[in-house]
Structure formats: C-alpha cells, structure tokens
Amino acid sequence: MRRALMAVVITPFLCGLAWSQDEVQLAEPWNTPYAGEDATGDHVVGLWNFDEGAELEDSSGNGHDLTLNGAKVVAEGRFGGCLESWRGWPDEDTAHQARTKAVPELTPKGAFTVEMWIKPKPQIEGYPDSFLLDNRYVDESGMQLILSGDSGAGRRLRMLLGMAGEHPTWTSNQYVFEPDVWYHIAFTYDGKGSGRFYINGTVQGGDDRPEYGAVASGVKNLTLGDRVGSLYHGFPGYIDQVRISKGVLEFSSAAFEPASLRRVFVRMEEDATVSFAVINKRREVISGAKAAFLFGGVPQPAQPIPDLGPGQRHIIDLDIDTRLRPDVYRLAATIEIAGENPFRSTQEFEITIVPRPLPHTMPVVMWGGSLGQMDWLTELGFTHSLGIGADFGKIWEAGEPTEPATEEGMEKAIASLDKALANGIGVVSGLSPGRWANSKEELRRVAADGKHLDDDVCGLFPEMSKFCYNVGASVSKAYGSHPAMQAAMVHTEVRGHTRPCYHAHDREAFKVATGLDDIPDGVQTQRGTRYQAIPDFPADRVIPDDYPLYVYYKWFWKEGDGWNAMHSALHEGLKSGGNDDFWTFHDPAVRVASVYGNGGDVDYLSHWTYSYPDPIRIGLCSDELFCMAGGATRGDQQVMKMTQIIWYRSQTAPEPGEEASAQTGDFADQDVRPSGTGSVDASGRYRAAWEREIPDARFVTIAPMHLREALWSKISRPIQGIMYHGWGSLVPLEDKHGAYRYTNPETKWELKRLVNTVVRPLGPTLMQIPDRKSDVAFLESFASQMFARRGTYGWNGGWEGDAYLILRYAGLQPRVIYEETIQQEGLADFKILVMPACDVLPQSVVTAAQAFQKAGGIIVGDENLCPVVKPDILLPTQVRPREADQARSNNIAAAAKLRSELDATYQRYAESSTPDVITRVRSYGSTDYLFAVNDLREFGDYVGHHGLVMENGLPTEAELSIRHPGAHVYNLLSNREVTARSGEGSTTIAERFGPCEGRVFMVTDQAIDRVQISVPEAAAAGDRVDIKIAIVGDDGQPMDAIVPVKIDLIDPSGKAAEFSGYYGAKDGVVQLAATIAPNDVPGLWRIHVRELASGLTADAYMRVTATK
C-alpha cells in the first residue's frame, strides 16, 4: 500500500547490529500538495485542500465534503486556498469551524494518521487551547487535536482519543509556534497505544501506552478549526491540507536508527562503540547531508554522509568515551540536509556508563526468571538473576557452535543484558542441554535387556560431550563479550534420573577404566544393591576395595553415566570466549552418592536446601558441598549455597486430609497433590490467613526467621555466593505466580535487611576467610549407600541428618568426609571420627579407622556400624517424630549425652553455654572469626499450628568461649569491641541474641589502634590515583586479619565516586587504583574510611583539577 524500499543488511553473529533486512517506510511528500495515490489511495480517509473551485470538497473522493460554520476559506494557503478560523471562548462563545457529517470511517479502526498545515495569527498570543480537529467533543469516542496555550517555553499539541469509557491524552514536546509561519503537524497512532507527533517532519514527542487499543468511532460531526460545540475554542490562524489516513505514516526526511544493540557500558571498557544507520526516507536521492553528535554535552566530530538513494542506509560508528564517570548520558544525533527543502532533525539516545565491580562482592543470585521484575531485584539486593538460555535443537542440528537463538531472540537477549547491566544485575544463563537430549530416544540409556529407558540420556555417546561444548561455545560467542553475561548454570537436576546403562560403549568404557571384563552381575539401580540380596556377601560387611560391584558403582557415579564429562564440556564451551571473569556452577551438586567428581570442572558447586524443620540443617548440605569440591580434579573448585524461598506445603502445613511427608534421601523434589484437596477447611480448626485465602497453595513462602537463621548458618562457612529460588513466593506477581504462592509478605523485607546489613558490608571479608581445620570427621560412606541404601543425597534427612544436628548441638564442628577422603588423606588430622549409617565399609577404610582408634582417636558410631569397627561411643539411632519440638528436644538430649561422654577426652576450640546457640569458627592468620546462631524456636501461627515446623524464633542469652586467650573481640555487626574475659586458656564473651539472629566476632591478638590512609595530595583528570588503607594494630603493624572496611571517595558535590563501597582488608590492607574521569567534579575530594570491626574512622583529602 505504501511505497517502501528494501535495504539489504547482513547481521553478523555478534552483539553488534540491532537491525536486519527491514522495509524502510518512505516519508510522505508533505512539503508538496498531495496528488495521485497520496490524495486518493485506499489508505486516504479524507483530504481537504480548500483550493479554488473545490474549496469544501473531500479531495480523497470519499465524499466527506465540508460545510462552513463560522470559518471561511481564503486564498492565502500553504498550497492554494486554506481555512481561516478565529478565537472563541472566552472572547466569544461562537463557532469558527468547517464540518462534515459524522460517519464511522472518519475514525479509522486500528492505526491511523492525522496531519495538517497550520499558520497561527498574531492573535494567538495570550489565547488558551485552540482546537484544530474534533469529533469527540465530550464523548469517550472519536479524537480531538488541540494546540495548547503558550507556557512561556512554547506550546504543546495534544491528542485526546476516546476509547473504552476513557479519553487518554497523548502530548507532544513543547515547541515554539511563531505567528505568520506555516508548520506541518502530524499525529500517528498504531491502534495499540503508541502515539507520535511530528512537526515539520521531526518527531516531537508522544508516548507508548500499551494498555490502550483502538479508538471508538466518533459519533459527532468532524470539525476543523474549532471544537464541535460550546464552549468553542477556535484556532486563531489558518489551516491547509488536512488529511486523515489509515496506518502509521512517516514524515521524517531522514532518521538515525540504532545499528548496534548495546547502550550500556562498564567504565573504562575498551572498544566501546555504538553504531547508527542514517536512513534516507525521502523519495529521492539526498546529497550533501551531514551528521553531528553531542555526547554528554561534548561535541563529537561531524561526519559527512554520502549520497543516499530512497531507503538507503549509511552506517556511522561512534566511539564512547568510557573514561567518563558512571552516569546516564544523552547522546544527541543531528542530521542536516541542505537544499530546496532543508531538513534538520535531532534524535536523542540514552547511553549509560556503570561503575566497575568491586572485588569480592558476594553474589546474591535469584535462581529463576525474574529479569522482568528488575525493580524488585534491585530493591531486595540481588546481584544476579537466572535468565538467558539457548535453542538446543538449533545447535544440535548445526553440529557446531552457531547462533543460540533466532535473530530476534538474540536482539531481545542483548536488550535484556543491557537493562540488567544498567541496573547492576549480572545475568546467569540457564543451560541444561543434556536434559534436552533425553527427548531423542536413540540417545537414551538402555537396560541390560537392551530396551531403552525413558528417564535419562546416555552421556557416554561421544556426540553428547561435543554437543554440550557446542552449546557453551555458542552462548559464549553470542553473548560472552557483554559485561552483564557473567555466569552460567551448567545443568540442573539431572542426576536424579540417571540409571545403569548397557550400550556396548558403556561396557567398553567400564572395561577400559577398571580392567574388569564386563559390568558385574548384581547391578540393580543407581542407588545400589542391598547386601542382603547378594549371595555370599561378607558376613562382617567388609568388602575388598576391588569388590566388583563396589568398583562398578564407584565408576558409574564418578564417570560411568557421562554426566560429569558433559558438565565439563559445557563449562569448557562457555569458557572458550576467553572471559576469565565468567563463572559456572552446577546444582544440586550433592544429590548424588558420596564420591568425588560431581559437577565436573565447573567453577562452583551449589545446592538448594529447604529450611524446615530445622534451619541449621542447611549446614550439612553445605559441608557436603565442600567435601565434594575438595575432591575435584581441578583443585580450586568452590562453593555457593542456595536457600529455597518456597516451602512444600505437604511438608509444612498439609491440606485437610493430606498426610505430611518428609525429605529423605530418596525424595524426588516433586509435589503430588492428593485427591480431594484444594478447598477451604470447614472443620472449624484454626487456619492461617493464607490457608483461608489461597486454599489450593502447594508451595508457600519460607518464614522470615527461617530465612534469617539459614543465612547465618550458611555464611558461617566459606561460601562464595548465596542463591535463592522461588520468585513467585518472594514478591507479589498477581496472576503470574504459577505454582509458587506469595503467602508471607514479610519475607522479602527480611531478605533485603539481611543483604543490606550482613551480606553487603561483610561479604567482601567473609569471601576471603578460609575455614578452620576441623578435628571432627563425619563419614558419609559410599559403600553403605550402595549396599545398605543409606545416604542423604543432599536432603539433610534421615538418621544421618539427625546425627549431624546432634553433633552441632553438642558443640562440635564436623567436617564431612567421604571414603575417598580417608583413602587419599588418611585420618591424621582428626581426633573424632563419627560413623553414622556405616553398615558396609571397604577394607581400606576399616584399616584406617582401626589404626586411627589405636592411635587414640575416638570413634562415634551407631548400632548399625560395620561390626569389625567397634565404636568408643555409641550414638544410638532414633526415629524422628513428626512433631518438630519433640524432634529437636530428642536431638538436644542425645547431644547432651554425647557431650558428656566426650568431655573427659575432647576439648572444643569454641563452644556455647547453651545448645540453643550454635557456634562455628573460621580462621585467617592469627585471627579467628567466631560465628554464633540462635536456634531457639517455637511454633507460630503461620504454619506452626500443624506441628511440623517451629517457624518463630525466640530471644536468648549465651556465653561464648574460644580457646584464643588474651584476645580482643570485635562484633562485626555492631562495629564495636565487646567486653571479654580471659582465663584457663580461653576468651569468653556474653551475648544476647534476638530471634534466629546470628553474630560474627573477630577475635584478634592485637587491638585495632587506628586507620591510616595514603593518597596523593593532588590529581588531575585522567590520572590514576593509588589509594592505600591500612588498619593498624597496637603493635604498629597492619592487622593480621581480614577486616571489613567501608571506603567512600566523595567529590566536592557530595557524590560518591567509583570504587566507593565495602572491602575486606586482607592482612589489614586495602589498595585500590581509581582513575579520575574527565568530567569528575574538580575541587577537594574526601576519602572517608570506616573499619567495621571497632568502628574507627579516618579521612584524607585530595585536590582534583580538571586539567594537568
């Protein structure tokens, strides 16, 4: 219908171009009288030219002729005759209009354009609104185009559109309309809420309001030059060539169009460039045009534009000066065309420069699709969010690295990355290509009888590792250069469905790895074979280390199912782009049997934990992760930890008639709704408000105090990031919540408080503090898992889970170890070996345990312990009752008994006067970091009435002791030294705890004496400024510690500059190198430092000049 040209543009496989092979809509020839198709085409609804001989005719041929009502036609028009109108009310309430009868076509359905030429008379001065076109009057239908009164800075055009009982208004920018000058004005509307104004071919404002749609047909006559009725507001001026058209038309002679996707850059980022296409929208060649740019108020070199035919583009690359201080900058792009019809238009674009990240900022990751709610992410303190994925089918078909999405999908992804970067959010790509491959039957595992299994892909197909690499490399190539693409999840929840597999290549791989001829008889499930079902199983339950079934299951879990190789291949592909800061993780990393290797070569292992029934249970899974990471072949694998925001209702607050379930080692992490549930309980029993309001909720929000205690429990370990999952249960999403329901509004605010008061200020310190070597080992026996169906599989449940809690209540700080740990490291580092659920053991472990015991080590075991190992202390198994309070009491009683049996022979490094406060120690150099968590809880009215979870904390008091005599103790939350007493080789403090609160105390040999700042006296724009901060002890030396510090670089305007924030002063020192930006505020800068142990502060000053 409209004239358009095709501009052929090749979009490279990069983050570069934002446009592809698009139609260019050419501009209307508004500077000339409309003729031909422009006057009578199908798209033209009405055209009024007021020319001699046809003064009031509709030149479109559609019969919408005019009659005069107070206005008149005169000869002095823009192209011939024109309509003249005058002022109305408040001068006189008289019509000055031309009008045509009301018909529905005059208000086009869907998209439309209204345009005209206007020339104000001098009489417009001091006059309020002038109506230019109207068929709405006071109805909620039709349209009404108004020129506002002069505000002193110009006038605005307004378009009111009647629809659905409303009359929303679109408004132009302010514009100075000089008297006795002709102006072409136009308004376009796409029928979907997007309206734009043009004045003389340049865009002059508008708005996108997607909540609105098509305009209701006007039922009033269409009037030009005045309002439909009283109070009349005529336009004191002249109107010519009025046209109403279907569709959104174009009026700009030329325009800039972004030709690159990125708009957000990191300060000092290299090769930062934005590209624009200059497009000729005229219907003839343009010559002699030039483009000019103004970035951040600084003119950039003008660039000539070559001759361009209709619809042709010319690309201009513009370097962005990322030395500028972090801010949002306006980039003004101006195109100027000389000639008979000169044209000048300026478009504005937003360019954002963000600060460089601070070192050791602890990631706070939202595991879930939350990028669409960026405001909530930033409000609550998240640093990362799961987001961009890949089209696995596309990459599989390519057989090599390729675009991971369609062109449109990649553009959306880059826009999402830009938005995330501007908001300080890193994006985590979620990639599970191995899970996707299970859709191909030919790649699935086969049973011993040769039949395909439905549950899982066989990872030993050679093409699987290649495919995983290609997925990683494709994502890296497409998005890896974008600073917001910071991490990737390498498969999730994949090994729960793994099964023994019997392809020829599986058998051959087993033979090559082990030397055995074939997979041995007796293999059952991936969880092993019960020893009672194995003929001639050793009566003492001690198996040789080369016992064929033991060898097979160990091989299967380490490499035989292929998953770890697929993890590593995906990781390697993601790293192929060379971005050293990009990190990968795998979860849930310990939902496997207890052998090293799960996760392959990823950077971090992670796992989620549901906090109920006891929040400190998150510690067991955390310690399992550290054991798994400690055995990784790469040697430097680290740990992050997730707390689930969601709670299973079936395990915390069952529906009426539903039996409560628990998380044991074989839990599948799937909800099964019992029949007959989902209705309001009419029994009259107490129900929480959420149970009455959302009776069918299956996943509810974690209680705030559980969230608090779980955080303290996990950060008492040297984790490198924290994660949360369950966005729909954390923030209100109205009808987009899915299965996760928002049942506790206070939880999100507790998370925000914890991030702001604990994670942000202390994270950079905690991330650098290693764990203290433990002398208590907690053995998770792989042999017992395979032959006695033991193991937690990351669920913290069963007897092993309770045994671990008993150790914690007894004041012990256990290290989880595997059989491989003993086989590789021995037991020399330990004084106590705890062996719960160790029914079956390999000979090497038995030999080591007996030698350990003979050397004076203490073995704690239950009645199921392999009979050749005799425990020094019996820790009887107990069945956990349903009632949470009774279960906790039972564990504390067992802990008290265990403690009394250990006290004569074992001395704890740190302990609490009450089992309600759990302690843990990490150490750096001569400094200890004593963590304490208040676990005293009671039932509340959120879920507590069901008896399964004590969700409310209680205050308590405790004395905390640590075998660090003569020490100074600093509370890192309150930033003060606390009163401590020394005696008998220890230091003791008394502390009060609020409900489920935690503490971390820095315990040092020296007292903190002062803060020293070294900074140059003067610096100029562009200079590198080296700043050194030292936290000095009373011995005159930097502290032998990692001290939390807050550093602010404050310019003369009071604004904090880049690198202001929280640090961990390792060895008592922080060194940073700041670069003065060309547009930083000159004058006297203040460097303010507050160390967060004792609260001491210091200031230094630096004179900054604009030039050297």
| Cα–Cα distance list, 617 to 185, 613, 809, 1106 (Å) | 69, 8, 11, 57
pLDDT at residue 1012, as a whole number:
99
Please, are residues 1022 and 1105 in contact by the beta-carbon 8 Å criterion? no
- 1056 with 944, same domain: the answer is no
pLDDT at residue 669, as a whole number:
78
Average pLDDT rounded to a whole number, residues 479-488:
98
* Mean model confidence pLDDT for the chain: 95
pLDDT digits (tens, 9 = 90+) for 995-1005: 999 999 999 99
SS3 annotation, 773-809: CCCEEEEECHHHHHHHCCCCCCCCCHHHHHHHHHHHH
| In the chain, % of residues over pLDDT 70 | 97
Residue 620: closest CA among 504, 499, 843, 792: 792
195: left (phi over 0), alpha (psi -120 to 50) or beta: beta
- 968 with 1066, same domain: the answer is no
564: left (phi over 0), alpha (psi -120 to 50) or beta: alpha
CB atoms within 10 A of CB 1033: 20
Domain-terminating residue out of 192, 222, 246: 246
Question: Both tokens of residue 863?
Answer: 């009645």
Please, are residues 750 and 771 in contact by the beta-carbon 8 Å criterion? no
Q: Assess if residue 999 is contained within a domain.
A: yes
Letter string b/e over residues 138-169, b meaning 16 or more CB atoms within 10 A of that residue's CB = eeebbbbbbbbebeeeebbbbbbbbbeeebbe
Side-chain half-sphere CA neighbours of 593 within 13 A: 30
Its pTM stands at 0.91
Q: How confident is the model at residue 663 (pLDDT cuts 50, 70, 90)?
A: confident
pLDDT at residue 673, as a whole number:
65
- 1061 with 927, same domain: the answer is no
CB atoms within 10 A of CB 372: 14
Tell whether the model's pLDDT for residue 942 goes beyond 60.
Answer: yes
- 122 with 270, same domain: the answer is no
Rounded-to-integer distance, Cα 368 and Cα 360, Å: 23
**Strand order from edge to edge, sheet including 956-962:** 910-912, 956-962, 986-993, 981-983
Q: Assess if residue 509 is contained within a domain.
A: no
pLDDT at residue 678, as a whole number:
56
pLDDT digits (tens, 9 = 90+) for 275-301: 999 999 999 999 999 999 999 889 998
Q: Assess if residue 629 is contained within a domain.
A: no
Helices (H) and strands (E) in the chain, counts: 21, 65
| Cα–Cα distance list, 132 to 107, 108, 227 (Å) | 15, 18, 8
Q: How confident is the model at residue 737 (pLDDT cuts 50, 70, 90)?
A: confident
Q: In 3-state terms, what secondary structure has residue 298?
A: strand
Indicate which CATH number applies to the domain containing 236. Answer: 2.60.120.200
Rounded-to-integer distance, Cα 853 and Cα 140, Å: 89
Domain-terminating residue out of 336, 354, 372: 354
- 938 with 1058, same domain: the answer is no
pLDDT at residue 3, as a whole number:
34
- 147 with 43, same domain: the answer is yes
Rounded-to-integer distance, Cα 470 and Cα 574, Å: 9
* Biggest CA-to-CA distance, the chain: 120
CA distance from start to end of the chain: 61
Please, are residues 207 and 170 in contact by the beta-carbon 8 Å criterion? yes
pLDDT at residue 320, as a whole number:
96
126: left (phi over 0), alpha (psi -120 to 50) or beta: left
Q: Assess if residue 155 is contained within a domain.
A: yes
Average pLDDT rounded to a whole number, residues 52-71:
97
Q: How confident is the model at residue 454 (pLDDT cuts 50, 70, 90)?
A: confident
- 1000 with 1012, same domain: the answer is no
Cis peptide before 128 (omega within 30 of 0): no
Tell whether the model's pLDDT for residue 933 goes beyond 50.
Answer: yes
Indicate which CATH number applies to the domain containing 274. Answer: 2.60.40.10
| Cα–Cα distance list, 468 to 154, 175, 490, 968 (Å) | 61, 57, 10, 53
Cis peptide before 807 (omega within 30 of 0): no
Identify each DSSP E strand in 202-263 by its residue range: 202-208, 222-224, 237-246, 254-258
Question: How many separate domains does the chain show?
Answer: 4
Q: Assess if residue 557 is contained within a domain.
A: no
For every residue of 86-113, DSSP letters joined together read ---TTT-----EEEE---GGGS-SSSEE
Q: How confident is the model at residue 22 (pLDDT cuts 50, 70, 90)?
A: low
- 213 with 124, same domain: the answer is yes
Please, are residues 90 and 149 in contact by the beta-carbon 8 Å criterion? no
Average pLDDT rounded to a whole number, residues 430-458:
95
Q: Assess if residue 181 is contained within a domain.
A: yes
Indicate which CATH number applies to the domain containing 964. Answer: 2.60.40.1180
pLDDT at residue 682, as a whole number:
67
Domain that holds residue 68: 30-246
pLDDT at residue 7, as a whole number:
32
Indicate which CATH number applies to the domain containing 1025. Answer: 2.60.40.1930
Rounded-to-integer distance, Cα 66 and Cα 68, Å: 7
Cis peptide before 770 (omega within 30 of 0): no
Q: Assess if residue 867 is contained within a domain.
A: no
- 200 with 315, same domain: the answer is no
- 131 with 191, same domain: the answer is yes
Average pLDDT rounded to a whole number, residues 45-71:
97
Rounded-to-integer distance, Cα 140 and Cα 23, Å: 35
Residue 17 DSSP symbol: -
pLDDT digits (tens, 9 = 90+) for 755-794: 999 999 999 999 999 999 999 999 999 999 999 999 999 9
pLDDT at residue 664, as a whole number:
77
- 36 with 166, same domain: the answer is yes
pLDDT at residue 16, as a whole number:
43
Radius of gyration of the chain (CA): 37
Residues in the chain: 1108
Domain-terminating residue out of 956, 986, 1004: 1004
Rounded-to-integer distance, Cα 13 and Cα 473, Å: 13
Compute the Cα dihedral for 245, 212, 388, 496 and give only its sign. negative
Q: Which residues pair with 223 in a beta bridge?
A: 99, 134
pLDDT at residue 797, as a whole number:
94
Rounded-to-integer distance, Cα 105 and Cα 466, Å: 61
Q: Assess if residue 582 is contained within a domain.
A: no
Average pLDDT rounded to a whole number, residues 897-905:
97
Rounded-to-integer distance, Cα 912 and Cα 892, Å: 13
Question: Both tokens of residue 387?
Answer: 């987001």
Please, are residues 1000 and 930 in contact by the beta-carbon 8 Å criterion? yes
pLDDT at residue 1085, as a whole number:
98
User: Between β-strands 722-725 and 641-644, what pairing exists: parallel, antiparallel or unpaired?
Assistant: parallel
pLDDT at residue 13, as a whole number:
36
SS3 annotation, 385-452: EECCCCCHHHHHHHCCCCCCCCHHHHHHHHHHHHHHHHCCCEEEEEECHHHHHCCCHHHEEECCCCCE
Q: How confident is the model at residue 680 (pLDDT cuts 50, 70, 90)?
A: low
- 18 with 36, same domain: the answer is no
For every residue of 153-200, DSSP letters joined together read S-B-EEEEE-BTTB--EEEB--B---TT--EEEEEEE-SSSEEEEEET
Letter string b/e over residues 992-1027, b meaning 16 or more CB atoms within 10 A of that residue's CB = ebebbbbbbbbbbbbebbebbbebeeebbbeeebeb
| Cα–Cα distance list, 570 to 404, 471, 476 (Å) | 14, 7, 11
pLDDT at residue 4, as a whole number:
33
Residue 135 burial (10 A CB sphere; 0-12, 13-18, 19+): buried
pLDDT digits (tens, 9 = 90+) for 945-997: 999 999 999 999 999 999 999 999 999 999 999 999 999 899 999 999 999 99
Q: Which residues pair with 638 in a beta bridge?
A: 604
